[in-house]
Amino acid sequence: MAYWIKITYERNEYVIDLDRISAFACAPNGKITFWLPDSAIPIILTQQSNYKNHQQVLEYIQKLAAHSLLGSWIRIIYERNEYLIDLNRISSFCHYPRGKLMFWLPDSSIPIIINSYKDLDTYQKILDYIQRETGHKLSMDNG
């Protein structure tokens, strides 16, 4: 079911289905970033610049986190930002020797690199997801 909101951003009006967004990034200062599907255009919301829209998206993220994290959504702390990512929308994963996983956020060019020695729990959740969804097992002790 679609979750449409209207956002004014950089003097343009957007009508966006938040259910089609594949990743959200939340910075410690409260800034929320997401990328429009099929365009790689980032939308960056802050409480100061766009309070109403910021609150709408924040409430959506909170509902999503509360209800969907048991499925394909995963919460990752990466480069001081908190990301909420739908792994079902990731189209490729790269596994490096010595416990490193990389993938790119859909609709953006941002790579996410997870190291087993820094975040073993997230690393293992992604390995489990890959095996469950693709049937391919990536070895943690590769290297």
Q: Is residue 67 situated within a structural domain?
A: yes
Distance CA 27, CA 137 (A): 33
Give tens-digit pLDDT for 68-89.
655 688 989 998 899 999 999 9
Q: Is residue 141 situated within a structural domain?
A: no
Q: 41, 28 in Cβ contact below 8 A?
A: no
The residue to which tokens 């966006």 are assigned: 16
pLDDT at 49 over 90: no
Q: Is residue 140 situated within a structural domain?
A: no
Q: Is residue 57 situated within a structural domain?
A: yes
Distance CA 143, CA 132 (A): 23
Element (H, E) at 52: helix 51-68
Q: Is residue 142 situated within a structural domain?
A: no
**Structural domain count, the chain:** 1
Domain that holds residue 25: 4-134
Q: Is residue 143 situated within a structural domain?
A: no
138 DSSP 8-state letter: P
Query: At 63, which CATH number?
Result: 2.40.50
Give tens-digit pLDDT for 2-46.
889 999 998 899 999 999 999 999 999 999 999 998 888 899 999
Name the pTM for this structure. 0.87
pLDDT at 52 over 80: yes
Distance CA 106, CA 95 (A): 18
Q: Is residue 25 situated within a structural domain?
A: yes
Q: Is residue 70 situated within a structural domain?
A: yes
Distance CA 111, CA 101 (A): 10
